[in-house]
Structure 1
Amino acid sequence: MNLSFYEAQLALVPELPLLIEQRYQMLKLIKASGPIGRRTLSSMSGYSERETRTMLDLMKEQELVHIAKEGVSTTEKGIEVLFVLHDTMEEKSGRRQLANELAERLGILKVHVVEGDSDDSPLTKKLLGMQAAKQFRSRIKGNEIVAVTGGSSVAAIPSFMQQDELPNVQFIAARGGVGEEVGLQANMIAASFAESCHATYKAFYYPDTLSEEAHAVFQHEPAAKEMLELYSRTDCVIHGVGDATKMAVLRNSSEEEQQILQDQQAKGEAFGFYFNQQGEIVHRIRTVGIQMEQLQDVPLVFTVAGGASKAEALLSYLASAPSQTILITDEGAAQNMLSLM
């Protein structure tokens, strides 16, 4: 019998894979949420306070975490351990296979799937933000124009980019401001990205209720013309995808507009465009922003959205998304998307 080193380890400590998985997930949770209190960590991880304390003591001894009055956080060594283990752990979990199958069937560049379902867990939304920040930073050169949309998934990204220095990158709103919650508007999120990366940003405010005639005039205003010129030179777009019905309600759309969306069987929304199941644009709101045809020429496109409830909306947008799209999603959305396909 010729056992490999790993097989010999398993023979001696059969619970080794489970222990590694548990501690890896705990370390990842601390990275996404830290500094975090021990009790909160116990509640979010599903382990008892005693089990949590035991794991934290072990990880502190190995200098993977730092425990202070404000909570537990990862050390540089802990972050490095997460980085080294990431690919192997993703392969073992089945998420890598799930992501590859989705990318192939959707015809897009890449898919990254994080664990969990954003519909059920606020932590999963943080993991989406952490993964999106990692992928963005690995592909950005440092002198790009980056357009970002509003929404909670995109808003979760900047907090994971606090150690990045990108002074020559300019963040801009992917379209004029609309009536979402202030903290989730594209202008505010662009500012958050810029602050985290020590970069610059350009805000763009667009009234929600312009008539068709006023909209035509507004496009010739200096601020709008400047943004249109920036959109033509955009190097990267980071955007979310919304459920068509929910977005119409969020924007206080008229009953007539909501009826149009219902009649046209709109499923998803992105950039102010509404899509049906086949990926066709069936409606759009009046605003100044990146156009769908422009998106085809943007070198880097990150689509960030998760939750099983978003599967239909994601499929409607991705049916016509540019091939250079990188999708960051979660297991809830990914599995539901495959089942719908």
Structure 2
Amino acid sequence: MREILDIQKQLLPDLMDTMKKRYTVLHHILVSGMIGRRTLAGMLNTTERVLRAEVDFLKEQGLVDVDASGIRISMAGRELLERIEPLVKDLFGLTELEEQLRVHFGLKQVVIVPGDSDASPQVKKELGRAGASVLRKLVTENDVVAVTGGSTMAEVANHLTAAPAMKGIWFVPARGGLGESLEMQANTIASTMAKKTGARYRLLHVPDHLGEEAYQSLIQDTTISEIIQFIRQARMVIHGMGDAMVMARRRKVDRETTESLQREGALAEAFGYYFDRSGRMLHRMPTIGLRLEDIHGMDTVIGVAGGRSKGEAIASVLKYGHEDVLVTDEAAAQEIIRTISSS
């Protein structure tokens, strides 16, 4: 297939450009669910007149449905996108990038979506869709799956759908709440994932950031202790990754600790742990939930994060060496490669 693609690129470059353009239109419609022509034109940075011609073509092919409410993808359109995904990855040059990252970091799988989450909400939605797809393929009956909070994990939850294989599993929060908006908290995301898939869930109603005295008191509570033990049975965790200083502010880390993290070169945060450029763990927040040793013992660790601004942070967590699967976007992947090349 790749050889044929290379020939087409040389002999029919206009055809490849058209294919890319129509794929991008169709894919934006898929991720949006239902969208108006004007909104879609704005997302694609094109005119409504140019877009109308593309949408009319896709409608004639039976790939989209158009009515007064807007444009939505048809079942035939969904099936086509699934079938051509490997071809599209080659078309966008992502297959080679995926393999480069997989080999360098010793990962089982890397999935890269086109674009930059920092620049486009649609790319973040696609990141969520890709994360949901990986999760669906890897879970097995009666698994306990731990999930962290954050906007990317919320997108993963939004793109999960009911499946018979997922009914017996449990979703649990990897840790307590951040004190941020409710929809971004791990508890909310775990319950949303369960409701979307027909699975079960348990919640952990404790704050994420605790003083040592409060931490020791809470872990001795029988109810909380029982839930923590259940969470630590998780076979799989799906989590986000963030910039160390951004996450320190979100977690309301005290000034002394924040300054210490800066001095030591903290670059990334995941699970409440802070890592430097080389992947060395610098600091652990006293949180209730998963510990690093629990993560080390898991069968599958899935990291989902994107955006050029997070490239270095993602590379830092990958260097720690306990990820199995990475789901990211093109801009972050390119930044990770740049980080590798300059180190």
> How does 1:171-320 map onto structure 2 within 5 Å?
171-208=171-208, 210-320=210-320
Q: How many residues align?
A: 337
**C-alpha displacement of 1:9:** 8.8
Aligned residues of 2:244 and 2:269 also touching (Cα < 8 A): yes
Give the C-alpha shift of residue 228 in structure 1: 2.6
AA aligned to 2:182 is V
Separation in 1, partners of 2:200, 2:62: 36
Secondary structure of residue in 2 paired with 1:319: helix
Separation in 1 of the partners of 2:310 and 2:12? 41
Supply the distance in 2 between the matched residues of 1:106 and 1:123 (Cα, whole angstroms).
28
| Structure 2 counterpart of 1:155 | 154
Partner SS, residue 40 of structure 1: helix
* 2:96 maps to 1:97: yes
Aligned CA distance change for structure 1 residues 293 and 60 (closer, same or farther; 3 Å): same
- 1:10: Cα distance to partner? 9.0
Provide the secondary structure at the position in 2 that maps to 1:35.
Answer: coil
Q: Note the C-alpha offset of 1:59.
A: 1.1
Q: Structure 1 residue 223: deviation in Å?
A: 3.0
Paired amino acid for 2:18: L
- Cα distance change of structure 1 residues 49 and 222 upon mapping to structure 2, 3 Å threshold: same
Structure 2, unmatched stretches of 5+, are none
2-structure distance, mates of 1:7, 1:16: 12
Q: Cα deviations across residues 77-134 of structure 1 (Å, max 9, x unaligned)?
A: 1111001100011012111101110111112211111111111111110110111111
1:76 to 1:142, Cα distance in 2 relative to 1, 3 A: farther
Is the contact made by 2:187 and 2:204 (CA closer than 8 Å) also made in structure 1?
yes
Q: Which has the larger displacement, 101-110 or 136-145?
A: 136-145
Q: Which moved more, 1:225-234 or 1:302-311?
A: 225-234
SS at match of 2:195: helix
Deviations 1:250-277 (Å, cap 9, x if unpaired)?
A: 1222111211211221111111111111
The aligned amino acid for 1:17 is M
Q: How does 1:34-49 map to 2 (within 5 A)?
A: 34-49=33-48
Q: What secondary structure is seen at the aligned counterpart in 1 of 2:134?
A: helix
Query: What CA distance in whole angstroms lies between the structure 2 residues aligned with 1:50 and 1:219?
Result: 62
1:163 & 1:329 partners in 2: Cα distance?
Answer: 24
Q: Using the TM superposition, give the Cα deviation of residue 293 of structure 1 relative to its aligned residue in structure 2, in angstroms.
A: 1.9
Contact 2:232 2:289 survives alignment (8 Å): no
Shift of 1:55: 1.2
Structure 2 residue identity aligned to 1:51: V
After superposition, what is the alpha-carbon deviation per residue over 1:36-72, rounded to whole angstroms, capped at 9, x for unaligned? 1111111111222112111111111111111133321
Q: Would you say the 8 A contact 1:145–1:171 is kept in 2? A: yes
> Which residue is 2:124 aligned to?
125
* Inter-CA distance 124–6: structure 2 relative to 1 (3 Å threshold): closer
Report the CA distance between 1:340 and its aligned residue: 1.0
1:307 aligned partner, one-letter code:
G
Structure 1 distance, partners of 2:184, 2:149, is 5
Consecutive unaligned residues in structure 1, runs of 5 or more: none
How far, CA to CA, are the matches of 1:58 and 1:138 in structure 2?
Answer: 33
What residue in structure 2 maps to residue 86 of structure 1? 85
Q: Matched residues in 2 for 1:230 and 1:175: separation?
A: 12
* Residue type at the aligned position of 1:212: E
% same residue: 36
SS in 1 for 2:320: coil
CA distance, structure 2, for counterparts of residue 155 and residue 179 of structure 1: 16
Q: Which residue of 2 aligns with 1:31?
A: 30
Hey, what's the Cα distance between the residues in 2 that align with 1:205 and 1:263?
33
